[in-house]
Amino acid sequence: MPWTKVYGNKAEFEKHLAGEPGLRGLTYREALLEAASQMLASDPSVFVIGEGVDDSGGVFGTTKGLHQRFGKDRVMDSPLAENAVTGIAVGAAVAGMRPILVHMRVDFMPLTMDQIINHAAKWRYMFGGKLNVPLVIRSIVGRGWGSAAQHSQNLQALFAHIPGLKVVMPSTPFDAKGLLKASVYDGNPVIFIEHRWLYEHMGHVPEESYTVPIGKGIVRRPGKDATVVGISHMVYESMKAAEELMGEGIDCEVIDLRTIRPMDTGLIIESVKKTGRLVVADTGWKDCGPGSEIITRVVEEAFGFLKAPARRVNLPDVPTPASPALEKAYYPGAADIVSAVKKTLGK
């Protein structure tokens, strides 16, 4: 499946529709809202809970109006008691419900680690597969507007380390809708991580309900000279980098990982065997992150195909700054990916 172009706003998409009639465009936020709406309408076991889900803004628009349509018994605000609310959601899941718990920022989730790691992640194993915890925890990562060290973190690596959890990071509106439904009906606890810079991105999203398989990445751009594995927002930076590099005669293959646990190792290995070079672009820190895991798997299974050392593009190993000037220096982008690819090529 080729890269599906995503547009920065509705006006851009409407121009595109003139050439391709019949396509339907939604923003990333609208795709999440539609997915939740369809599941609430079709399944009484689904409910949404979290701080601010019934506010006028509706968690950056992703839950807007749901409490008015489905009532406060199905879409409910919660107090500033993250660990307790997570425990309630875990209990509801064990009792047969399918909660979608929204922790508006991933920075709040360290307060819930006991419920997630010691309970939700382990009960299916501890009860010999006879007990499921069909819980989805939505949370948001990424650069804000001076949100600083306690409201801008990217903590996906913490959760990806835990057996029993799945960690999903969709990059497109199409995948956001399809992966949210797949997560709700997976039967296991899923940490569903959204990047705030993606909410205004627009792309083709079918109106009907559908799923995207958890654990399957996708090649967004085929290439032969280097493999670039992008995660979440860094998929877009990887695509920009690939376009720039193509102007210099360097043909990059871009993989959208989509899920970091379970990880589509086979797709990455197949690509590296073709290109012989690997760059991983993640939204988080370098140490013990998904990039480290990806490179390790390639070394274990396809070391002989590597023509050069693999490279990682990550945040600097310091807490997130608040200053706009420091933010600009802190967050990597397409230029950093271009540099990493060139290093693998000895340029």
Per the residue annotation, which of 30, 34, 51, 82 is the catalytic one?
82
Per the residue annotation, which of 16, 151, 244, 270 is the catalytic one?
151
- What is the average pLDDT score of the chain? 94
The structural domains of the chain, ordered by start, are 10-204 (3.40.50.970), 218-344 (3.40.50.920)
pLDDT bucket at 143, cuts 50 / 70 / 90: confident
Say whether 82 is catalytic: yes
Quote the pLDDT of residue 184. Answer: 98
pLDDT reading at 18 higher than 60: no
Quote the pLDDT of residue 39. Answer: 98
Residue pLDDT, tens place only, 282-300 = 999 999 999 999 999 999 9
Beta-strand (E) ranges in the chain?
Answer: 25-27, 46-50, 75-77, 98-103, 136-141, 166-168, 190-195, 202-204, 218-221, 226-230, 252-256, 259-261, 278-285, 311-315
pTM recorded for the entire structure = 0.94
Residue pLDDT, tens place only, 167-192 = 999 999 999 999 999 999 999 999 99
pLDDT reading at 2 higher than 50: no
CA dist., res. 98 & res. 135, Å (int) = 6
For residues 334 and 327, which has the higher predicted lDDT (pLDDT)? 334
Of residues 168, 344, 142, the one with CA closest to residue 257: 168
pLDDT bucket at 1, cuts 50 / 70 / 90: very low
Quote the pLDDT of residue 296. Answer: 98
The stretch 39-54 carries a mean pLDDT of: 97
Say whether 194 is catalytic: no
Beta bridge partners of 47: 99
pLDDT reading at 166 higher than 80: yes
CA dist., res. 159 & res. 167, Å (int) = 7
The stretch 11-17 carries a mean pLDDT of: 62
